Structure 1
Amino acid sequence: MRNSTCLLQPSLATTVALPVIYSFLFSAGSFGNILAVWIFSRQAPTKRTQYIYLANLVTANLLVCSTMPFLAAYFARGNQWTYDSVVCRIANHFGTLIMHVSMYVTIIILCSIALSQYATLKKNRVTQYPQVVNENFYRHILEKFRQPKFAKYLCIIIWLTVFSITIIAITFNVQAKAMGEFHKCYNIKIEIGGLVTRIAAYFATACFFLSFMTVLLSYYSLTRHLSKIQKNTCIGEKHLIYSRVKRNILVIQMILTVCFLPYHIFRPIFNILSTNDDCLRLNYLVEIKNFLTCLAAAKSSLDPVITLLLQKTFKKSLYGLFTKSIPEHQNCKDDISTEETPEM
């Protein structure tokens, strides 16, 4: 790379603001997600599709949170560590690997949850309207996302695929770094990466936009269908189901838009502009990338709050910690309602 001799000089935004933000996200995210794990382990039926997705989502959140202390230390002290030090290698290799694996596992699982929610609409439409063969085929595919067995295998495949791609990229990147001499841990090679890292970043960006557009089209299709049937028929009790599905898909869309979209819009721009020789520009680009990565990581700390707002069983269980009494008939009623319309 032409800019390999550029020395990064982190500003106070990197050495102070990012460590403070990551420390706060670590505390809030760890507490919230551990609480979610405890409540789900006591209340959640393990064979229900929605909880399979949520369990994997919480696992990814906890993994992201586990990297935050290393990332906070890296941004605070990385410019003082030597490249060959143990703390530098742990902070970069562990932090980078787990952070990116968990990020893309989260994105794909969120897309899967949206499809399982959208399948609820298709399931309820099947008894009301005659469908053509092609639509029946698409409905059959969608219905797979509501099946516990399929959800388990899908999550396993997601984890293995994302792990494999990330490990390959990190391995090639480490080998490329071994050929050069670097004095500081916080350097251009680590922050930009090699050719394989760039290719993996483009692939990951394409994966994100595929998931993003899938959720967006699901929401658009659902909104259009609801508008159509509300004009022509009275959907009665089904209205509550459709409203919940629409709300849940909208929340997923907002998460993808607020937390992940800025990073994935900027990442290709970063890859292109980072080949320039302007060292000052590179410093700015790297810091913008790191803050947008932090924004994506913040999603892991916000998830318990979102779950509290959308998941009735989780909310009642949390209230039960303080009241010590959750009526059995209410629990049964919630289980019945969430079976038909999975909550986030």
Structure 2
Amino acid sequence: MRNLTCLQPSLATTVALPVIYSLLFPAGIFGNILAGWVFSKQAPPRRTQHVYLSNLVTANLLVGSTMPLLATYFARGYQWTYDSVECRIANHLGGFVMHVSMYVTIIILCSIALNQYATLKKISDAKYPPAAKENFYRCVLQKFRQPEFAKCLCIVVWLTVLCITVAAIIYNNVQINAMEESQRCFNVTVEASKFTSMLAACLATTCFFVSFMTVLLSYYCLTRHLSEIQKNTCIGEKHLIYGTVKRNILVIQMILTVCFLPYHVFRPVFYLLLPEDDCPKLNYLVEIKNFLTCLAAAKSSLDPVIYLLLDKTFKRSLYGLFTKSMPEHHKEKADIFTEETPDI
């Protein structure tokens, strides 16, 4: 068994991580509240895209709410005892909410990509009827455009991720309480519990890569589909929706790649490389894991910036809410969730 006093946080953990989380917190909370406000004012409530994005904003706000707890945990966790109130709140509540929201976000991003692709397929199929063998695939894909299906999917995702995370935390907590020598909140069992976290890590990593490959496959199929259409006809300016959908799926793919992929590639490596008695190596591995977790959490603060930079309708809607003088022809174009002209 590894010595529980082996883990000694460096300045990177006690200073850099708290500073990063403290900077991300106001940006994420303010930006997502503002985004939620814009969506609620401009979005028809029965649109499928509204369902997905409402859940995405909710998950982002939950991740943002945990950042002060995580900043405090990394700054002071090595000074607390494990059974202290501060440790229980910062470690359990902070880590619990962040991981639940993180995987809900990943699955919802995947669902948004499928919804975007399904929207384009419907428009394209109306002009270029598909082969009979594609009918079943098309029917399954179109489910992601139905509001009732989107609501049920989001509920199932929240409940499933919640149950798995609660089970992992409870099991890990029982193991730690059984160890009398576990005194500090920031300890090896919490940060590098190999046995109790293996199953949860395996399920989480599988969930991510299934979502990642689904979005990647959607982008590939869309690109191939557009190439086939272009062989027979010219996609003019009136078909700019194709470029919009392609861009939106690409943005989702970039988010998954930049923010989530490094963490999920490193996570199985982390458990495989955990040393039994090499304290310096253990400290390095834990620090890398925590910084990659921070990168994944940073995605919640970047979403409003992505909306603002890449979505012209979101920008116009935001401007209209502040000025309250949006021209009528802009209002007609500012439906962020219009199924015929989907935007991220």
TM class, shorter-length: over 0.9
Q: CA separation in 1, counterparts of 2:332 and 2:320?
A: 15
1:247 aligned onto 2:268? no
Q: CA separation in 1, counterparts of 2:237 and 2:76?
A: 58
1:163 aligned onto 2:162? yes
Query: What is the total number of aligned residue pairs between the two structures?
Result: 343
Q: CA separation in 2, counterparts of 1:5 and 1:309?
A: 47
Pairing 1:186-225 to 2, within 5 Å after superposition = 186-193=186-193, 195-225=195-225
Conserved? CA contact 1:43–1:313, under 8 Å:
no
**Identical amino acids, percent of aligned pairs:** 71
Pairing 1:100-119 to 2, within 5 Å after superposition = 100-119=99-118
The aligned residue for residue 342 of structure 2 is 342
Q: CA offset at residue 135 of structure 1?
A: 1.1
Q: CA offset at residue 277 of structure 1?
A: 2.3
Deviations 1:239-278 (A, max 9, x none): 3011000000000000000000000000000011125321
Q: CA separation in 1, counterparts of 2:130 and 2:41?
A: 41
Amino acid of the residue matched to residue 284 of structure 2? Y
Report the 3-state secondary structure (helix = DSSP H, G, I; strand = E; otherwise coil) of the residue aligned with 1:339: coil
Q: CA offset at residue 328 of structure 1?
A: 2.2
Conserved? CA contact 2:22–2:67, under 8 Å:
yes
The aligned residue for residue 318 of structure 1 is 318
Amino acid of the residue matched to residue 53 of structure 1? Y
Q: CA offset at residue 237 of structure 1?
A: 4.9
Report the 3-state secondary structure (helix = DSSP H, G, I; strand = E; otherwise coil) of the residue aligned with 1:46: coil
TM-score normalised to structure 2 length: 0.95
Shift of the 137–4 alpha-carbon distance from structure 1 to 2, 3 Å rule, reads: farther
Amino acid of the residue matched to residue 213 of structure 1? M
Pairing 1:22-61 to 2, within 5 Å after superposition = 22-61=21-60
Report the 3-state secondary structure (helix = DSSP H, G, I; strand = E; otherwise coil) of the residue aligned with 1:82: coil
Deviations 1:55-101 (A, max 9, x none): 00000000000100000000001111111110011101001110100
Conserved? CA contact 1:6–1:279, under 8 Å:
no
Report the 3-state secondary structure (helix = DSSP H, G, I; strand = E; otherwise coil) of the residue aligned with 1:8: coil
Shift of the 260–36 alpha-carbon distance from structure 1 to 2, 3 Å rule, reads: same
Amino acid of the residue matched to residue 136 of structure 1? N
Q: Which runs of 5+ in 2 are unaligned?
A: none
Q: Which runs of 5+ in 1 are unaligned?
A: none
RMSD: 1.6
Q: CA offset at residue 290 of structure 1?
A: 0.1
Q: CA offset at residue 339 of structure 1?
A: 2.6
Deviations 1:173-198 (A, max 9, x none): 11111100212111001112352322
Conserved? CA contact 2:42–2:336, under 8 Å:
no
Deviations 1:208-239 (A, max 9, x none): 00000000011011112222322331133553
